[in-house]
Amino acid sequence: MELTPAIREFAEEKVQSLEKFFDNITKAEIDLGMQSHHHNKGKIFYAEVTLDIPGRTLRVVKEEEDLYKAIEKVKDHLKLELDTAKEKMRRKDKEEIRDQKEYDVESGDDDYSEEYEGG
């Protein structure tokens, strides 16, 4: 299948639009094509996008009779995956901050242990 400039531009725009949902995408790979041996009649196109984010690699493949629909579906699915990943990272950050605060309280800083003498 020949990749036209219009298809390439459409796919790149959709993947770049994901940066507004997750600003730390370190790498993106796009693979577009047509399935040669598929059980359905007619042409079946696929869109596969692999994103590298800190600590994870997300990969989504969608198949459709229309290549543009396949690209849209991949983008939509990746948006959900990025939202989930962002929430997990936030939860982990909150837990680490909470653990640090607990440690600070338990360390018992003695600078404030002056005795009060009433007058």
Tally the domains of the chain. Answer: 1
Q: What is the pLDDT of residues 91-113, one digit of tens each?
A: 888 888 877 776 655 555 555 54
Of 30, 57, 29, the C-alpha closest to 46 is 30
5, 8, 20, 30, 79 from 13: Cα distances, Å: 12, 9, 12, 11, 14
Is there a domain that residue 18 lies in?
A: yes
Q: What is the pTM of this model?
A: 0.74
pLDDT computed for residue 103 by the predictor = 60
Is there a domain that residue 117 lies in?
A: no
Is there a domain that residue 85 lies in?
A: yes
Q: What is the mean pLDDT of the chain?
A: 84
Q: Strand (E) positions, the chain?
A: 27-34, 45-53, 56-64
Is there a domain that residue 110 lies in?
A: no
- Residue 33 lies in domain: 5-105
Is there a domain that residue 116 lies in?
A: no
CB 90 within 8 A of CB 110: no
The CATH number that applies at residue 46 is: 3.30.160.100
115 pLDDT more than 90: no
pLDDT computed for residue 82 by the predictor = 94
